[in-house]
Structure 1
Amino acid sequence: MNNDLILTALPLDQLRQLIADTLKSELSQLLEQKPNDTKEELITRKEAAKLLGISLPTLLDFTKTGKITGYRIGTRVRYKRRELIESLKQIQAAKSQRRL
């Protein structure tokens, strides 16, 4: 970083625009660095039950027994879509093992 100090008179509007442009540039660089797949999609209980092909009481049972992880957000429970898909694969694998 350059330690030279330059003082200049700028109109307030130009200073605001310079700050805004600098912030936009820095924020866009930060956003480009983050991979997009880190954002988890949260879905409702009804959506989760429909995705898994189970009833709401069964979903509640799976959540209580730890087969599926639910996340409480305020008074609501949400599920991560990616985790549900992984749980579904495990549940199907367990069912097929029992049939053998």
Structure 2
Amino acid sequence: MGNDIVLSPIPLTDMRTMLADIVKEQLQQFLPSSHQQEQTAFDDKPLTRKQAADFFNISLPTLSTWVSEGRVKAHRTGGRVYFKRSDLDEALRTIKAAS
């Protein structure tokens, strides 16, 4: 039968990620393309360590620990550490899902 529904268990974090992706995809259909370009530029703007720590409302030493543990992805350029807003958003979703 081609119309059978098959349900299989998946972790809650995977379900949240899948639903968020679906909602985001559907909402993007209603956004003007210029807004999408502005949002992409905003997401890719490099943030300093201080800005990243403020984003999470944590201290700089805690941010360093999170980077060491792999919770937050850091980018190094010319001896400086930068963070992408999109990476911080993803880390925040992961951290919230774990708690």
Q: 1:43 aligns with which of 39, 47, 54?
A: 47
Provide the alpha-carbon RMSD of the alignment. Answer: 1.7
- The secondary structure found in structure 2 opposite 1:54 is coil
- The secondary structure found in structure 1 opposite 2:44 is coil
- The question of 1:61 aligning with 2:65 is answered yes
Show CA shifts across 1:50-71 (max 9, x none): 0011110110001011111111
| TM-score of the superposed pair, with normalisation by structure 1 | 0.56
Q: Which amino acid aligns with 2:92?
A: L
Q: Which has the larger radius of gyration?
A: 1
CA distance in 1, matches of 2:97, 2:57: 15
CA distance in 2, matches of 1:73, 1:90: 25
- The question of 1:84 aligning with 2:57 is answered no
What is the percent sequence identity of the aligned residues?
Answer: 39
- Number of equivalenced pairs: 61
Which consecutive residues of structure 2, in runs of 5 or more, have no partner in the other structure? 1-35
Q: Which runs of 4+ in 1 moved over 6 A?
A: none
- The secondary structure found in structure 2 opposite 1:47 is helix
Which consecutive residues of structure 1, in runs of 5 or more, have no partner in the other structure? 1-34, 96-100
